[in-house]
Structure 1
Amino acid sequence: MGLQGKHMFGAIGEQRVTFVEKKIGSDRMEFLKKLLECNGFEVIVQEEKRKSEEEPQLYTVGVTDMVFNPTVYVFQRRLKTIDGKHIVNQEYWNQISEDSKPQYWKNS
């Protein structure tokens, strides 16, 4: 799903959440969960229903902070990397690169 400008919210179980990403694999879910928990958010994960056992398990990740918008937080540089030493940029969020130095406004 990646970064989108739209603020998506709803519920996971009885808990109101802001959705971070929907229908993602377990590796992506673990990355987002760890990243968001390191930044002080309460993360709620829900397993998506599978039509058959052969299909991969997908997850929905949400946070209990109703004003959290992933796009805003990344581009306003409000998130720290998992090690807490660097700022999260778009490439880090999308797991393209571990390098947090290139800025989203950097021209080639």
Structure 2
Amino acid sequence: MPLQAKHIVEEINGTRCTIVEKGISKERSAFLKSLLEFNKFEVIIVEDKKEVEDAPTLYTLGVTDLVFNPVIAVYEFALKNPEGNYVSPDYWDQKRKDSIDQYWLTKEETLPGKSAWFYKIEEK
């Protein structure tokens, strides 16, 4: 589930939480939990109810900080990854393992010498 602008507050296990993502896999919930806990958020994960018996198990992930908004946190570079870099939208969506703070660049523009914004090659 990509970043969504809507700020949702629900109760999870008796605690009011900001919902970060719903309907996510166990791997995705583990990634977000480790990232958010690294940034000092208290994370609550609950298994979603299955509508069909053989459907995959999905999870809802929330944080107890009611003013936390993942869109604002990512685009304002308020979160850091364990390597100490800012979390970019592609890092959040697990499209890249590295964080590029110029999130508007295409993948080709992040190659050395392909953009005036990124990895500028010095001429001799």
TM-score (norm 1): 0.92
Unaligned runs of 5+ in 2: 110-124
Matched AA of 1:87: Y
Matched AA of 1:35: L
Cα deviation 1:52-86 (Å, max 9, x = unaligned): 442111000000000000000000000001x2411
Matched AA of 2:86: I
1:39 equivalent to 2:42? Answer: no
Q: Percent identity?
A: 48
Point out which structure has higher relative CO (alpha carbons under 8 A, 6+ apart).
1
Larger radius of gyration: 2
Structure 2 equivalent of residue 16 of structure 1? 16
Task: Report the secondary structure of 1:91's partner residue.
Answer: helix
Structure 2 equivalent of residue 75 of structure 1? 75
Cα distance in 1 for residues equivalent to 2:96 and 2:71: 17
Unaligned runs of 5+ in 1: none
TM superposition shift of 1:5: 1.2
Residues 86 and 101 in structure 2, CA contact (< 8 A), matched pair in contact too: no
Cα distance in 2 for residues equivalent to 1:26 and 1:8: 21
After TM superposition, what 4+ stretches of structure 1 lie above 4 angstroms from structure 2?
Answer: none
TM-score (norm 2): 0.80
Go from structure 1 to structure 2 and tell me whether the alpha carbon gap of 1:98 and 1:16 turns closer, same or farther (over 3 Å shift). same
Count of residue pairs the alignment pairs up: 107
1:95 equivalent to 2:94? Answer: yes
Cα deviation 1:9-50 (Å, max 9, x = unaligned): 111021000000001111101000110000000000010111
CA RMSD in angstroms comes to 1.4
Task: Report the secondary structure of 1:66's partner residue.
Answer: coil
